[in-house]
Amino acid sequence: MAKIIGGLGTSHIPAIGGAIHRGAQQEPYWKPFFDGFPPIREWLGQVKPDVMVMFYNDHGLNFFLDKMPTFAVGAAPQYVNSDEGWGIPSLEPLRGELDLSWQIINHLIDKEFDVTTCQEMLVDHACSLPLKLFYPEGNYPVTVVPVCINTVQFPLPKASRVYALGKAVGEAVAAWDSSKKVAFVASGGLSHQLDGERAGFINKTFDLQFMESLLSNPEWATQYSIHELVEKTGTQGVELLAWLAMRAALTVGESSGVRKVHSNYHIPISNTATGLLALEKF
């Protein structure tokens, strides 16, 4: 059976890609953010995952407001990204893990999740940027399965529903007939609002409490309705749903225990509270 090694959460702000492209990682504005990643890269070098299942949200490259699935899973041999004009230019296509994609899709359908299956799928910075942060040298040594969660267009899925989705994805991976090692990645957040009367809103207290809950009480955020989460984190801060799915996926198997490898929290980067977390499953 496949081995689940742990999970990672990171922000995916396009401006981070722009900083990488310009070589600005050590500039005072960017250094506190980029300095969080060396311990993560060291850990990845030790555990060497073969596959990353990526929980993320699309920003209009593959889905738009006229067609926005609640949950979508990629089942393609590769995933192409594009230069979105404000971050890092296009990177090489991400390699898919087809067998695991279908394992996840079939299990989710059995669990009564009505997912959209994408045998062709474009992925934006929410997928490509975390990989560039984890493997800055390029030539990513992992295949991917994209799991897209709608955090853009209401109605949004409840936190408890996303938690259940993450757990079901974890079950599918744990049952996968493979010797490969799998890590779950959450891409997005934390608190931020880019428009409206609360533009620039950041809630450090809630962010830190949420990050701590992923260690001590992973279902903590499911007590809140989606509108309460928007109030507490901002209209774009609900991207934390991806983090919730990632953590839920780690609860399956003989042991649901995790230990924190490393974390980092920094504000602001492009009006956003940036979070970084690595959890190792034991």
Question: CA 94, CA 25: separation in Å to the nearest integer?
Answer: 24
CATH number at residue 94: 3.40.830.10
Question: CA 64, CA 67: separation in Å to the nearest integer?
Answer: 6
Q: Which residues contact 220 (CB under 8 A, 6 or more apart)?
A: 209, 210, 213
Helix axes 204-216, 226-233, angle to 10 degrees: 130
Quote the pLDDT of residue 139.
Answer: 83
Residues belonging to the chain: 282
Question: CA 160, CA 163: separation in Å to the nearest integer?
Answer: 5
Q: Is 200 left (phi over 0), alpha (psi -120 to 50) or beta?
A: left
Number of domains in the chain: 1
Quote the pLDDT of residue 194.
Answer: 87
Annotated catalytic residue, options 12, 125, 262, 266: 125
86: in domain: yes
Active site residue 21: no
3-class state of residue 46 by DSSP = helix
202: in domain: no
Quote the pLDDT of residue 89.
Answer: 76
Question: CA 236, CA 274: separation in Å to the nearest integer?
Answer: 12
In contact, 205 and 28? CB cutoff 8 Å: no
100: in domain: yes
Per-residue pLDDT of the chain (282 residues; tens, 9 = 90+): 999 999 999 999 999 999 999 999 999 999 999 999 999 999 999 999 999 999 999 998 899 989 999 999 999 999 998 877 777 777 789 999 999 999 999 999 999 999 999 999 999 999 999 999 999 987 899 999 999 999 999 999 999 999 999 999 999 999 999 999 999 999 999 999 988 899 999 999 999 999 999 999 999 999 999 999 999 999 999 999 999 999 999 999 767 789 999 999 999 999 999 999 999 999
Dihedral through CA 8, CA 13, CA 18, CA 24, nearest 10?
-70
Question: CA 262, CA 6: separation in Å to the nearest integer?
Answer: 12
What are the structure tokens assigned to 256, written together? 């649901």
Single-letter amino acid code for the residue at 258: V
- Say how many C-beta atoms besides its own lie within 10 A of residue 268's C-beta: 13
Give the range of the structural domain holding residue 156, as residue numbers without chain letter.
3-188+242-281
Quote the pLDDT of residue 159.
Answer: 98
Quote the pLDDT of residue 88.
Answer: 75
Quote the pLDDT of residue 26.
Answer: 96
What are the structure tokens assigned to 19, written together? 């900083």
206: in domain: no
Quote the pLDDT of residue 155.
Answer: 96
pTM of whole model > 0.85?
yes
Active site residue 262: no
3-class state of residue 73 by DSSP = strand
Share of the chain above pLDDT 90, in %: 88
Annotated catalytic residue, options 107, 192, 262, 266: 192
68: in domain: yes
209: in domain: no
Concatenated DSSP letters of 74-107: E--SEEB----SSSSPP-PPEEB-HHHHHHHHHH
172: in domain: yes
